[in-house]
A = this chain, B = another copy of it.
């Protein structure tokens, strides 16, 4: 089966790294990922650079890309201003993310879940008019840093409302890396039967990310986020690692007989290159152990 992997390393990965990479280097990272066969890359974040200095220069990243026809270049947005910047900068896809719990929605984006759900609908409409793809992520869908456990029924209710707007996909995000495969299956199966493409975004905070990815694909998810080298971290668990590593995910999926269109050896090369740029060993395992 074909599983589409979105490399969110240039955005979610790098925004949680201490070392700040220039827009030129981030554009080069995107180019290296597309050359390795990544069908989609989250290239930039159109948020306030004062809040996330690692992501400053989103427009320069987009301008610096050597765009590859087979790759979709996405940008994260958190509000309409960000949406406008992203479209102006030439993204192929806007990705809007909001938390499914009130406390996190307030603290992270100064909004409510109801307002955020409504905004998702408006952004899908605008994206249709502007002719760009649109992906909606439900953050903290597997657990919340402030409220703890999150009921699947609550998440599915929000997913239902969002899918009524017909985005290109609904992504369930385990923002703080607490999910387990049984939970993944319940949520993914629920979203998949809404007639919308189901995606998942896992963090390897508690080492369940790859197990969750396997469960997600088996339950009907067709899109998986990952970051090359497993860069990033978790603001709520300072010693923890970040997104699942793209090369680890590719190793798993290819081994299970799935297709990704990605060349694993090239991708391992990108992880090695990025480790040098960041000046540290990355959490990804396959780039250290090698393919088999």
Contacts and interface: CB of A to CB of B under 8 A. Distances in A.
Interface of A: 143, 148, 176-183, 204-208, 210-211, 213-215, 234, 237, 239-241, 244-245, 248, 251-252, 255-257, 284-286, 288-290, 292
Nearest to A285: B207
A240 B285 CA distance: 7
B214 A257 contact: no
A248 B178 contact: no
A289 B255 contact: no
Contacts of A252: 180-181, 207-208, 211
In this complex, the member of A177, A206, A257 whose beta carbon has the largest number of chain B beta carbons within 10 angstroms is: A206
B206 A251 contact: yes
A182 B289 contact: no
Nearest to A248: B207
A292 B210 contact: no
Contacts of A251: 180, 206-208
Given A182-B257, A206-B251, A255-B183, A289 B211 contact: no
A239 B286 CA distance: 10
Closest 3 A/B residue pairs (Cβ): A180-B255, A211-B211, A239-B288
Contact of A215 (B205, B214, B234, B290): B214
B182 A256 contact: yes
Contact of A207 (B205, B215, B256, B284): B284
Q: Is the interface of A mostly helix, strand, loop or mixed?
A: loop
Nearest to A144: B292
B288 A143 contact: no
A13 to B, nearest CB: 16
Nearest to A239: B288
B289 A239 contact: yes
Given A180-B252, A182-B257, A285 B205 contact: yes
Contacts of A284: 207
Contacts of A183: 255
A214 B207 CA distance: 12
A283 to B, nearest CB: 9
B206 A237 contact: no
Contacts of A237: 288-290
Given A214-B211, A215-B214, A292-B143, A241 B182 contact: no
A240 B148 CA distance: 33
Contacts of A244: 207
A177 B255 CA distance: 12
A45 B204 CA distance: 32
Contact of A234 (B213, B214, B239, B289): B289
15 contacts: A176-B292, A180-B214, A180-B251, A181-B252, A205-B285, A206-B251, A206-B286, A207-B210, A207-B244, A207-B284, A208-B252, A208-B255, A210-B211, A214-B214, A239-B288
